[in-house]
C-alpha cells in the first residue's frame, strides 16, 4: 500500500474519513505481511517507553475536533488533533482537561496524550487520564475498527476497554478518536510556599489530604513545598488563611506549575537518568541519596540517579510502589517494572486478541508484547 | 422491588444460557469435590438451601443454582475456582444480590460463588485515605467505619445499605453524587482477585497507577466475568463540612433541561442534580410528604457541598442561574432536616411508584442531556401508544434516565406492552447518542440490547477480552456479551414484532 503523507492542516470530515480508510488499508497490509509498525502522532513522547521499532505509521493527519459540547462536558477529537488546539477550544468555554496533561512539545496530539497516559500536577486530586476517557475508536491489529464507550459520562454497557486504552502505548492499536470528559476551570487559584524538609512535607501533604481543602497540586524539592489551591473563591481564601505559608504571585505560580508539568523546571535538566517512582502517598522518605522532586501529595517521586535499577526497584517495591525509567539511563535495563507472571499472561492474551501479528509498537511496553 | 417482567417474555422465546433443571449426577460430583474444600455450612445444594439464591434484584428471572459455595477466605476461593476449572463447571459470583440486571442470575449447571462470608474490613489507613476491604463488605459499612476520621466512601448507589463493595466493583456502580465524585471506577485503587485458573492477580495498586495495561479499568464493571475479587482498596474522601440543596420548579421539561445545561455552563459541578417529572412527584408526595410542588411539570434538586464558604458561594450562583432559566419556584434547604426531606422523595421514587401500580419496569438509559426534551416527549407519546403510564426520574447531571413503566405482570398483554415500551425507550437512547445502561449493568436483562448498541466486531472484541482473563469461558457465562446467534435471533423476533423503530440505526 502506498503511504500517504498527512498534511498538518487536515481536518475532520470527508477528508478525515478518507485518511482513516487509507490507514485501515495500510494496517491490513501490514498485518498480512507481519510488518511491524510504530505509531507516530506528534512524536513528543517518543522517548517514553522502550525504543520504538518498525516502520513509522504517521497518524497525525487524522485530525480535528469532531464534537465539543461544553454543557455535556465532553470533547471528541481525532487522534492527530494538537493537544494545544483542544486546550484552546476548551478555554473558549472556560473549561479544561482536569488531568493537566504534559505536552513535551508543540506537536503533542490528543491521541498521544491518551496513549501515553501521562497526567500532570493535578493528578492526585482530579484523577488521571483514564478517569476522563469516555470513549475510544480503536483500529486494531487486524484492521478492524472497534467502538468502545461513547460520549456520555455514565455507561456500563460492555467492558470499560476505552479507559484501559489510556496508557496502552499503542500496543493494542491506533486510537482513531477519543472522547474525553472535560471540566470547568476552577474560578480561583492560589499557590503557597513552605520551607520544610522532606519528612515534614510528606506528613503535611497527607494530613491536608484528609481535610476538606481545595488542594489541586503539590511539589516538594530542595526544602521548599509548593501547594496549589483551586476552587470556589471563598474556599481558596479560607484555605489560604487556614494553611499559612507564603503566597506566590499568580504569574510566577502559573509559570512554576507549567514548567513542572512540561519538565522544564531546573530539576529536570542535565543528563542523569530520570526515574518516575509511583508509591502510596504515605510512603516514607525513600532515602536514596539522589536529587528528588515529589508531586501528587507524595504519590509521585522523581529521582535523578544512576543507581542500579534492581536496587532502586527493590526499595520502591518494599513500600508498595513501582519505578519507571522515564528518560535517559542505560537502554539495556527495562523501562517498566516487570509484571507478575499471571498478569503478564493476561497482557499477552490481550495483545494476541487485539493485535495477533504483533504489528503495533512491538516491544514498546514489554519485550513480548 | 422492580419487576421487569417484560424481558422475561423475550427470554422465553430466546432461552438464556444456563437455564433449566439441575442435573443430580453432575451436582453430586461437584459437591463431592467441593466438600474437600469448604466446611459443610459453606456448601449448599439442597433445594431449600439454594432457593434463596435463585435470583438477584431482577426477580423475574429465576434459576435454581446447582451448588452454592460460600468460601471463607481467599485460599478457599482459589481452591473452588481451580476445582471448577478442572470439572469445567461455570461459576457465577454474587455479592448481596441487589443488582437490577440479573448479573448474578445462577447457572443451572454451575456454582454460585457467594462472597457473603468474605465480609471483613481488613485495614483502614486514615492518613493515606484508603481502606482495604473484602468484597462482601457492604458499601455503607465502609463509610460508617471511617466516619470517625472525617472520611467516607463516595459512590452511593441507592441500594448502599445492602449492596457490597464486590458487587459495586462488578457493576461499576454510580449513585446520585457521581457527577462530582465519580463512579466506582474513580474510587477504587486496587482489586485483588482470583482468575478461573486459580491465579491471584492484583490490578491497580496502593499508588496512583500500576505498570502495564490498566487492567483495573477492565475488571471494574466486568460483572463478575473476568475474575473473582477477594480484596478491594477503596479511596476515601474527606466528608464535606456542609451540604445544601436547591429545589426548583419548572412548568416545562425542556426549560428544566436547559436550566441543567445552564448550571454546567456557569462552571458549576453540583454534588448532585436530580430531576423528577410530575408523574413521579405525584407518586412520591403522598408517600413521603417531601414538600414537592405538584403543579410543576418538573422539579430539579441541585445540591452543593464543601466548606461553608464554598457552599454559600455555589448556592447563590445556582439560585441565580435557575432563576434566569425560568424556574417558577425556588426553595433552598435551611437545615439538614429539610435537605434530607427534599432528598427523601427522590430516594423513595421507586417504592412510591410500586405503591400506585401493581408492577413497574425500571429502565436505565443514558442520553446526552440536550436530547432530554425530545426523549421525554417521545416517552409521553409512547404512553399513549403502549397504553401504559410512565414516571420519570433522572440523574440530570450525567444524563442517566430512569423511566418507570407501570404495568400489571398478571396481565400478559400489559407485560408485553411494557416490554415493547422499554425497548422503544432504549432504542431511542441509542439513537440520540446514549447507551442502553448507565449504571445498572447488562447482565441478562440487556444482553439483547447490546446487539443494538454495538457492532459485531466490537462485541467480538469484548469476548476476546473475556477470554484473555478467562480462557475456558467459565466465569459467569452468557451474560453481557451476546453471541452472534443470539443477536440474529433477537433481530428476527424483534423486527417481526414490528417494534424496531430504527432498523437503519448507525451502530456504535
Partners of A347 on chain B (C-beta within 8 Å) are 212-213
Q: What are the pLDDT digits (tens) for A224-269?
A: 999 999 999 999 999 999 999 999 999 999 999 999 999 999 999 9
Q: What are the pLDDT digits (tens) for A39-73?
A: 999 999 999 999 999 999 999 999 999 999 999 99
Q: Pairing state of beta strands B111-114 and B67-69?
A: parallel
Contact B492, B250 (CB under 8 A): no
Assign A11 a pLDDT band (cuts: 50, 70, 90): very low
Contact A27, A141 (CB under 8 A): yes
If phi over 0 gives left and psi between -120 and 50 gives alpha, with beta otherwise, what is residue B422? alpha
Question: Would you say residue A343 lies in a domain?
Answer: no
Q: How many domains does chain A have?
A: 2
| The pLDDT of residue B13 is above 90 | no
Q: What are the pLDDT digits (tens) for B268-308?
A: 999 999 999 999 999 999 989 999 999 999 999 999 999 88
| The pLDDT of residue B45 is above 70 | yes
pLDDT at residue A178 in the model: 98
Q: Where are the beta strands (DSSP E) in A182-223?
A: 183-184, 188-195, 215-221
Partners of A163 on chain B (C-beta within 8 Å) are 185, 214, 217
Q: Which of residues 325-354 of A touch B (CB under 8 A)?
A: 336-340, 342-347, 349-350, 352-354
Instruction: Check if A368 contacts B (Cβ < 8 Å).
Output: no
Of B218, B226, B265, the CB nearest to A70: B265
- Residues A81 and A220 occupy one common structural domain: no
| The pLDDT of residue B110 is above 50 | yes
- Residues A65 and A202 occupy one common structural domain: no
- Residues A125 and A240 occupy one common structural domain: no
Parent domain of A216: 188-327
Question: Would you say residue A334 lies in a domain?
Answer: no
Domain boundary among A158, A184, A210: A184
- Residues A122 and A254 occupy one common structural domain: no
Q: What are the pLDDT digits (tens) for A329-364?
A: 877 789 999 999 999 999 999 999 999 999 999 999
pLDDT at residue B12 in the model: 65
**Closest residue in chain A to residue B183, using alpha carbons only:** A154
- Residues A248 and A166 occupy one common structural domain: no
Q: How far apart are CA A257 and CA A237, in angstroms?
A: 20
Q: What are the pLDDT digits (tens) for A166-220?
A: 999 999 999 999 999 999 999 999 999 999 999 999 999 999 999 999 999 999 9
Instruction: Check if B220 contacts A (Cβ < 8 Å).
Output: yes
| The pLDDT of residue B111 is above 90 | yes
* Packing angle of the helix pair B412-431, B5-13 (nearest 10 deg): 90
**Closest residue in chain B to residue A213, using alpha carbons only:** B307
C-alpha cell at B102: 440479573
Query: In this complex, do A235 and B313 lie within 8 Å of one another by their Cβ atoms?
Result: yes
C-alpha cell at B342: 427534599
Q: Pairing state of beta strands A37-40 and A174-181?
A: unpaired
| The pLDDT of residue B176 is above 90 | no
- Residues A22 and A171 occupy one common structural domain: yes
Q: What are the contacts of A21-24 at 24+ separation with CB within 8 A?
A: A23/A57, A23/A59, A23/A62, A23/A139, A23/A174, A23/A176, A24/A139, A24/A143, A24/A145
Partners of A147 on chain B (C-beta within 8 Å) are 454-455, 458, 508
Q: Across residues B464-471, what is the average pLDDT?
A: 98
**List of residues 6+ apart from A179 with CB closer than 8 A:** A67, A74, A75, A76, A133, A134, A135, A136, A149, A150, A151, A162
Q: Where are the beta strands (DSSP E) in B239-356?
A: 242-250, 272-277, 298-306, 329-332
Partners of B171 on chain A (C-beta within 8 Å) are 156
H helix and E strand count, chain B: 19, 19
| The pLDDT of residue B60 is above 80 | no
Express the helix, strand and coil content of chain A in percent, nearest 5 each: 30, 25, 45
| The pLDDT of residue B252 is above 60 | yes
End-to-end CA distance of chain A: 25
Question: Would you say residue A366 lies in a domain?
Answer: no
pLDDT at residue A333 in the model: 85
Q: Which of residues 169-208 of B touch A (CB under 8 A)?
A: 171-172, 174, 178-179, 182-183, 185-186, 195, 197, 199-203, 205-208
| The pLDDT of residue B333 is above 80 | yes
Q: How far apart are CA A156 and CA B225, in angstroms?
A: 14
In chain A, what percentage of residues exceed pLDDT 70? 96
Q: How far apart are CA A37 and CA A39, in angstroms?
A: 6
| The pLDDT of residue B384 is above 90 | yes
Contact B363, B401 (CB under 8 A): yes
pLDDT at residue A4 in the model: 35
Residue A255 to residues A172, A251, B424, Cα–Cα distance (Å): 36, 6, 53
Half-sphere exposure of B116 (CA within 13 A, CB side): 15
- The ipTM of this complex is 0.95
- Residues A284 and A323 occupy one common structural domain: yes
In chain B, what percentage of residues exceed pLDDT 90? 78
- Report CA Rg, chain B: 23
Widest Cα–Cα separation across chain A: 65
- Residues A159 and A201 occupy one common structural domain: no
Determine how many CB atoms are found less than 10 A away from the CB of residue A30. Answer: 21
pLDDT at residue A19 in the model: 93
What's B157's DSSP letter?
-
Residue that the C-alpha cell 487536515 belongs to: A10
Name B404's bridge partners.
Answer: B362, B391
pLDDT at residue B497 in the model: 39
Determine how many CB atoms are found less than 10 A away from the CB of residue B41. Answer: 10
Partners of A212 on chain B (C-beta within 8 Å) are 150, 238-241, 306-307
Question: Would you say residue A158 lies in a domain?
Answer: yes
Express the helix, strand and coil content of chain B in percent, nearest 5 each: 40, 20, 40
- Residues A194 and A74 occupy one common structural domain: no
Indicate which CATH number applies to the domain containing A19. Answer: 3.30.465.10
Q: Which residue has the higher pLDDT, B59 or B475?
A: B475
Q: Pairing state of beta strands A188-195 and A274-278?
A: unpaired
Q: How far apart are CA B455 and CA B457, in angstroms?
A: 6
Contact B395, B363 (CB under 8 A): no
Closest by CA to B19, choosing from B134, B98, B105, is B105
Question: Helix (H, G, I), strand (E, B), or coil: what is residue B1?
Answer: coil
pLDDT at residue A118 in the model: 98
| The pLDDT of residue B501 is above 50 | no
pLDDT at residue B493 in the model: 72
CA B118, distance to chain mean position in Å, is: 22
Question: Helix (H, G, I), strand (E, B), or coil: what is residue B463?
Answer: helix
Of B197, B211, B312, the CB nearest to A339: B211
pLDDT at residue B59 in the model: 78
pLDDT at residue B494 in the model: 65
Assign B1 a pLDDT band (cuts: 50, 70, 90): very low
Question: Would you say residue A86 lies in a domain?
Answer: yes
Determine how many CB atoms are found less than 10 A away from the CB of residue B126. Answer: 16
C-alpha cell at A129: 487520564
Name A276's bridge partners.
Answer: A302, A324
Half-sphere exposure of A283 (CA within 13 A, CB side): 26
Question: Would you say residue A293 lies in a domain?
Answer: yes
pLDDT at residue A3 in the model: 35
pLDDT at residue B175 in the model: 85
What DSSP line would sit under A288-336, residue for residue? -SS-EEEEGGGTEEEEE--S-HHHHHHHHHHTT-EEEEEESS-TTS-SS
**Which of the residue ranges A57-61, A221-225, B241-245, B349-353 would you say has the lowest mean pLDDT?**
B349-353
Q: What is the mean pLDDT of chain B?
A: 92
- Residues A63 and A145 occupy one common structural domain: yes
Assign A313 a pLDDT band (cuts: 50, 70, 90): very high
How close does chain B come to A24, measured CA to CA in Å?
Answer: 15
Residue B349 to residues B57, B257, B283, B473, Cα–Cα distance (Å): 17, 20, 7, 39
Partners of B239 on chain A (C-beta within 8 Å) are 212
Instruction: Check if B435 contacts A (Cβ < 8 Å).
Output: yes
Of B267, B310, B462, the CB nearest to A184: B267
Q: Which of residues 325-384 of B touch A (CB under 8 A)?
A: 366-370
Determine how many CB atoms are found less than 10 A away from the CB of residue A250. Answer: 11
Assign A15 a pLDDT band (cuts: 50, 70, 90): confident
| The pLDDT of residue B370 is above 90 | no
Q: How far apart are CA B492 and CA A119, in angstroms?
A: 47
Question: Helix (H, G, I), strand (E, B), or coil: what is residue B113?
Answer: strand
Assign B67 a pLDDT band (cuts: 50, 70, 90): very high
Determine how many CB atoms are found less than 10 A away from the CB of residue A23. Answer: 25
| The pLDDT of residue A148 is above 60 | yes
Domain boundary among A126, A161, A184: A184
Closest by CA to B288, choosing from B330, B361, B346, is B346
| The pLDDT of residue A283 is above 80 | yes
Q: φ and ψ at A292, to 5 degrees?
A: -140, 145
| The pLDDT of residue B7 is above 60 | no
Q: What are the pLDDT digits (tens) for B117-133?
A: 999 999 999 999 999 99
Q: Which of residues 243-282 of B touch A (CB under 8 A)?
A: 261-262, 264-265, 267-269
How close does chain A come to B108, measured CA to CA in Å?
Answer: 24
Domain boundary among A156, A184, A212: A184
Q: How far apart are CA B82 and CA B80, in angstroms?
A: 6
pLDDT at residue A8 in the model: 37
pLDDT at residue B342 in the model: 94
Question: Would you say residue A348 lies in a domain?
Answer: no
Name A148's bridge partners.
Answer: A136
Contact A355, A165 (CB under 8 A): no
Assign B109 a pLDDT band (cuts: 50, 70, 90): very high
What's B324's DSSP letter?
H
Question: Would you say residue A96 lies in a domain?
Answer: yes
pLDDT at residue B260 in the model: 94
- Residues A152 and A255 occupy one common structural domain: no
Q: Across residues B54-80, what is the average pLDDT?
A: 94
Q: Where are the alpha helices (DSSP H) in chain A?
A: 14-33, 83-91, 110-116, 123-126, 129-132, 161-164, 198-209, 233-243, 250-261, 309-318, 341-354
Q: How many residues are recorded in chain A?
A: 369
- Residues A83 and A171 occupy one common structural domain: yes
Query: In this complex, do B207 and A299 lie within 8 Å of one another by their Cβ atoms?
Result: yes
Q: Which residue has the higher pLDDT, B169 or B13?
A: B169
Amino acid at each position: 500500500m502506498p503511504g500517504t503523507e498527512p498534511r498538518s492542516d487536515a481536518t475532520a470530515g470527508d477528508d478525515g474519513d478518507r485518511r482513516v480508510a487509507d490507514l485501515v488499508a495500510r494496517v491490513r497490509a501490514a498485518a498480512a505481511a507481519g510488518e511491524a509498525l510504530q505509531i507516530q502522532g506528534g512524536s513528543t513522547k517518543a522517548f517514553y517507553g522502550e525504543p520504538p521499532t518498525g516502520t513509522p505509521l504517521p497518524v497525525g493527519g487524522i485530525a480535528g475536533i469532531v464534537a465539543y459540547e461544553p454543557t455535556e462536558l465532553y470533547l471528541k477529537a481525532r487522534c492527530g488533533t494538537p493537544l494545544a488546539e483542544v486546550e484552546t477550544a476548551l478555554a473558549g468555554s472556560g473549561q479544561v482537561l482536569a488531568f493537566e496533561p504534559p505536552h513535551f512539545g508543540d506537536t503533542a496530539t490528543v491521541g498521544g496524550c491518551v496513549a501515553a497516559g501521562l497526567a500532570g500536577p493535578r493528578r492526585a486530586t482530579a484523577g488521571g487520564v483514564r478517569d476522563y476517557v469516555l470513549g475510544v475508536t480503536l483500529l486494531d491489529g487486524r484492521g478492524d475498527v472497534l467502538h468502545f464507550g461513547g460520549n456520555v459520562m455514565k455507561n456500563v454497557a460492555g467492558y470499560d476497554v476505552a479507559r484501559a486504552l489510556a496508557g496502552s502505548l499503542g500496543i493494542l492499536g491506533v486510537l482513531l478518536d477519543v472522547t474525553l470528559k472535560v471540566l470547568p476551570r476552577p474560578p480561583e487559584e492560589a499557590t503557597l510556599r513552605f520551607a520544610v524538609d522532606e519528612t515534614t512535607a510528606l506528613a503535611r501533604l497527607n494530613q491536608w489530604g484528609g481535610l476538606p481543602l481545595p488542594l489541586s497540586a503539590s511539589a516538594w524539592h530542595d526544602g521548599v513545598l509548593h501547594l496549589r489551591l483551586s476552587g470556589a473563591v471563598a474556599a481558596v481564601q479560607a484555605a489560604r488563611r487556614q494553611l499559612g505559608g507564603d503566597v506566590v504571585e499568580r504569574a510566577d505560580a502559573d509559570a512554576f506549575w507549567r514548567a513542572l508539568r512540561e519538565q522544564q523546571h531546573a530539576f529536570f535538566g542535565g543528563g542523569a537518568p530520570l526515574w518516575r517512582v509511583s508509591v502510596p502517598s504515605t510512603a516514607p522518605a525513600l532515602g536514596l541519596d539522589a536529587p528528588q522532586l515529589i508531586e501528587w501529595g507524595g504519590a509521585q517521586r522523581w529521582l535523578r540517579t544512576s543507581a542500579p535499577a534492581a536496587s532502586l526497584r527493590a526499595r520502591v517495591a518494599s513500600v508498595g510502589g513501582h519505578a519507571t525509567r522515564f528518560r535517559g539511563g542505560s537502554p539495556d535495563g527495562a523501562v517498566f517494572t516487570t509484571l507478575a507472571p499471571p498478569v503478564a499472561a493476561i497482557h499477552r492474551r490481550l495483545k494476541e486478541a487485539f493485535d495477533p501479528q504483533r504489528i503495533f509498537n512491538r516491544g514498546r511496553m514489554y519485550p513480548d508484547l | 422491588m422492580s419487576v421487569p417482567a417484560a424481558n422475561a417474555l423475550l427470554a422465553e422465546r430466546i432461552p438464556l444460557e444456563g437455564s433449566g433443571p439441575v442435573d443430580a449426577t453432575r451436582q453430586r460430583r461437584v459437591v463431592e469435590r467441593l466438600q474437600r474444600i469448604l466446611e459443610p455450612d459453606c456448601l449448599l445444594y439442597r433445594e431449600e438451601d439454594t432457593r434463596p439464591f435463585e435470583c438477584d434484584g431482577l426477580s423475574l428471572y429465576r434459576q435454581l443454582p446447582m451448588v452454592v459455595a460460600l468460601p471463607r477466605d481467599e485460599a478457599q476461593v482459589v481452591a473452588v475456582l481451580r476445582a471448577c476449572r478442572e470439572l469445567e463447571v461455570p461459576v457465577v459470583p454474587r455479592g448481596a444480590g441487589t443488582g437490577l440486571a440479573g448479573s448474578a442470575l445462577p447457572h443451572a449447571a454451575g456454582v454460585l460463588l457467594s462472597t457473603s462470608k468474605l465480609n471483613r474490613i481488613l485495614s483502614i489507613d486514615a492518613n493515606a485515605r484508603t481502606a482495604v476491604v473484602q468484597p462482601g463488605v457492604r458499601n455503607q459499612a465502609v463509610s460508617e467505619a471511617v466516619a470517625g476520621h472525617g472520611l467516607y466512601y463516595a459512590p452511593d448507589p441507592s441500594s448502599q445499605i445492602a449492596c457490597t463493595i464486590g458487587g459495586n466493583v462488578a457493576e461499576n456502580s454510580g449513585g446520585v453524587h457521581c457527577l462530582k465524585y465519580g463512579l466506582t471506577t474513580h474510587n477504587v485503587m486496587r482489586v485483588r482477585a482470583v482468575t478461573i485458573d486459580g491465579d491471584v492477580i492484583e490490578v491497580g495498586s496502593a499508588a496512583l497507577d500500576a505498570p502495564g495495561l490498566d487492567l483495573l479499568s477492565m475488571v471494574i464493571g466486568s460483572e463478575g466475568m473476568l475474575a473473582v475479587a477477594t480484596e478491594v482498596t477503596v479511596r476515601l474522601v474527606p466528608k464535606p463540612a456542609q451540604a445544601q440543596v436547591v429545589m426548583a420548579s419548572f412548568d416545562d421539561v425542556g426549560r428544566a433541561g436547559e436550566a441543567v445545561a445552564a448550571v454546567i455552563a456557569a462552571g458549576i459541578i453540583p454534588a448532585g442534580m436530580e430531576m423528577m417529572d410530575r408523574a413521579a412527584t405525584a407518586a412520591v408526595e403522598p408517600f413521603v410528604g417531601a414538600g414537592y410542588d405538584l403543579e410543576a411539570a418538573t422539579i430539579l434538586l441541585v445540591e452543593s457541598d464543601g466548606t461553608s464558604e464554598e457552599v454559600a458561594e455555589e448556592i447563590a450562583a445556582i439560585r441565580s442561574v435557575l432563576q434566569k432559566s425560568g424556574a417558577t419556584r425556588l426553595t433552598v434547604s435551611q437545615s439538614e432536616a429539610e435537605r434530607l426531606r427534599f432528598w427523601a422523595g427522590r430516594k423513595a421514587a421507586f417504592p412510591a411508584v410500586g405503591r400506585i401500580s401493581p408492577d413497574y419496569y425500571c429502565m436505565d438509559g443514558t442520553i446526552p442531556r440536550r436530547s432530554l426534551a425530545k426523549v421525554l416527549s417521545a416517552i409521553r407519546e409512547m404512553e399513549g401508544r403502549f397504553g401504559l403510564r410512565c414516571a420519570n426520574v433522572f440523574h440530570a447531571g450525567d444524563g442517566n434516565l430512569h423511566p418507570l413503566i407501570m404495568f400489571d405482570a398478571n396481565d400478559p398483554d400489559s407485560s408485553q406492552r411494557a416490554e415493547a415500551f422499554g425497548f422503544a425507550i432504549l432504542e431511542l437512547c441509542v439513537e440520540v447518542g446514549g447507551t442502553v445502561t448507565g449504571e445498572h449493568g447488562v447482565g441478562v436483562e440487556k444482553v439483547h440490547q447490546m446487539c443494538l448498541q454495538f457492532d459485531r466486531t466490537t462485541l467480538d472484541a469484548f469476548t476476546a477480552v473475556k477470554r484473555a482473563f478467562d480462557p475456558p469461558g467459565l466465569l459467569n457465562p452468557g451474560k453481557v456479551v451476546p453471541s452472534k446467534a443470539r443477536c440474529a435471533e433477537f433481530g428476527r423476533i424483534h423486527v417481526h414484532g414490528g417494534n424496531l423503530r430504527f432498523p437503519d440505526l448507525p451502530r456504535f
